Amino acid sequence: MADSDSKLKSNSNVKRSEDFNEWYNQIVETADLCDKRYPVKGMNIWRPYGLKAMKNIDKLIHAEMEHTNHEEVMFPLLIPEGLFQKEADHIKGFGGEVYWVTHGGFNELDERLLLRPTSETAMYSIFPLWIRSHADLPLKTYQIVNTFRYETKMTRAFMRVREIHFFEAHTCHADFEDAEAQIKEDLDIMKSFFANLCMPYQANRRPDWDKFAGADYSIGIDCLMPSGRTLQMGSCHQYKTNFSKPYGITYEDVNGEQKFCHQTTYGMSERLLGGVIGMHSDDNGLMFPKLVAPIQVVIVPILFKGKEEPVLKACREVEAELSAAGIRVKFDERDITAGSKYYEWEQKGVCMRIEVGPRDVESGAVMTVRRDNRQKEVVKRAELVEQVNAILDAYDEVLWQCANGNLESNTHRANVIEAVEGKSGILELPWCGEEPCGLAVEERLDVSTLGIPTEEVAARIGGGEVCPVCGKPAVSWCRFARTY
């Protein structure tokens, strides 16, 4: 165990500031988040520390869902081929990414089964049995499960994997307007959820050529990584009746008429953790936002021969007091140097540490050190919980400001392509709305189209802007970026 750990750690020699992508590939293992040595490509092992961080993110999702009256469900992993084939665009979009189960024991199955790449087709075969009348609507469900996609692109821990820890919300509504109101609620959920991750983002309406398979339209949630590439952290989709028609999801309205439901979905995944790792970190390692951090506070005793006992006693008291206040705290009693403890917990993104030495015990205080800027502060034991909470809040605020500063200073708006050529980050250009012009920009700048900003102010054309490709009047601003 110790051997393999030290082997992994000695490989970590790339600095984040020098090679972000390689640094990322290493830190996920050196910080004990996952183990990539499992012998199936793109299927990694969640180590306890990484799983705790993910579960903390899940907790935030559960809270948002409960708050907005979504109910949790759990659908089977296997989907019969016949169900999956019902929506033509959907199968076109996912067909090449599906894992098939063809045998049960030694027997070839009459009908092939697939591992869910997402659960529309599983859920929508059952929703008609649950929905009878307008009184059953809206139906708001969600689940957090594993999904499977046979990725052909290069895999990357948490960002692009073949077995995905996945969140999906599925809703059914009486009409288009109510479904639109759901999308608005999704955008509100995003706002509070991503604030908790200290992650600024942009919600962009994807162009038609890049919408979700089967959707009327899709909104992508894009975060800008320090590498200058964006990472899609989630998406929501307006389906209108595209799925309810083939799956027969109908309801009886107030006049006794049968009508098709309008549907939406909202999806996110373990990429959230990948995004947190990428966005909040420095050359010393990770910086977990307080609500994500598996350990928020680590206590390190500063020991001198003959004076150990009062220090250890004080450490235990501090641990008990913080723990009782709901703070995730660890007392690191290991017999290694304090310096190597600092190094390890900084790398693992613990928000702050508390040092306790003999003199601190005598003066009834502790020394606090923040992860982000290593700022030290003496805190009186009598004010411990209050001060630790204040430091954690200030730390989160810095994470947010730092990420937001990066997004703002790397978003470039211009009227002509030449002005953004060679720039990294998010590029905003006026757009006529036509696909060939969007694709021309993609090719010219070697970027992908993120789409039209969902914030009206950011999308609105001021006056007179023209499409830089065809010269026709622009209908909105459009965002482009290199993506993961």
Instruction: Choose among 19, 42, 41, 16: nearest CA to 31.
Output: 16
Q: For the purposes of burial, counting CB atoms within 10 Å of the CB of 418, is it exposed (0-12), middle (13-18) or buried (19 or more)?
A: exposed
Question: Cα(288)–Cα(131) distance, rounded to whole angstroms?
Answer: 42
Residue number with CB closer to Zn ion (357 or 430): 430
Q: For the purposes of burial, counting CB atoms within 10 Å of the CB of 258, is it exposed (0-12), middle (13-18) or buried (19 or more)?
A: exposed
Residue 354 sits in the site that holds Zn ion (CB under 5 A) = no
The site that binds Zn ion (CB under 5 A) totals a number of residues, namely 6
Q: What string marks each residue from 91 to 110 as x (binds Zn ion by CB under 5 A) or -?
A: --------------------
Phi, psi for residue 66 in degrees, rounded to 5: -60, -45
Q: What string marks each residue from 429 to 468 as x (binds Zn ion by CB under 5 A) or -?
A: ---x-x--x-----------------------------x-
Stretch of residues binding Zn ion (CB under 5 A), selected from 41-49, 117-125, 147-155, 426-434 = 426-434
Stretch of residues binding Zn ion (CB under 5 A), selected from 56-64, 287-295, 416-424, 469-477 = 469-477
Least distance from Zn ion to the Cβ atom of residue 209, Å = 14
Least distance from Zn ion to the Cβ atom of residue 472, Å = 5
Residue number with CB closer to Zn ion (179 or 432): 432
Least distance from Zn ion to the Cβ atom of residue 479, Å = 16
Residue number with CB closer to Zn ion (34 or 459): 459
- Contact at 8 Å (CB) between 195 and 250? no
Residue number with CB closer to Zn ion (172 or 429): 429
Copy the structure tokens of residue 172. Answer: 């059914």
Question: Tokens 């307008």 correspond to what residue?
Answer: 134
Give all strands of the β-sheet with 78-80 in edge-to-edge order.
78-80, 107-115, 100-104
Residue number with CB closer to Zn ion (35 or 434): 434
Among 54, 315, 469, 478, which residue interacts with Zn ion (rule: CB under 5 A)? 469
Instruction: Choose among 435, 427, 423, 434: nearest CA to 453.
Output: 427
Copy the structure tokens of residue 135. Answer: 């009184």
Least distance from Zn ion to the Cβ atom of residue 471, Å = 7
Residue 470 sits in the site that holds Zn ion (CB under 5 A) = yes
Least distance from Zn ion to the Cβ atom of residue 449, Å = 13
Least distance from Zn ion to the Cβ atom of residue 414, Å = 15
Question: Cα(286)–Cα(343) distance, rounded to whole angstroms?
Answer: 11
Residue 65 sits in the site that holds Zn ion (CB under 5 A) = no
Collapsed DSSP state (helix, strand, coil) of residue 237: strand
Least distance from Zn ion to the Cβ atom of residue 141, Å = 40
Least distance from Zn ion to the Cβ atom of residue 437, Å = 3
Question: Cα(304)–Cα(307) distance, rounded to whole angstroms?
Answer: 5
Question: Cα(147)–Cα(74) distance, rounded to whole angstroms?
Answer: 12
Helix H segments across 286-337?
A: 308-324
Residue number with CB closer to Zn ion (34 or 432): 432
Q: Which residues bind Zn ion (CB under 5 A)?
A: 432, 434, 437, 467, 469-470
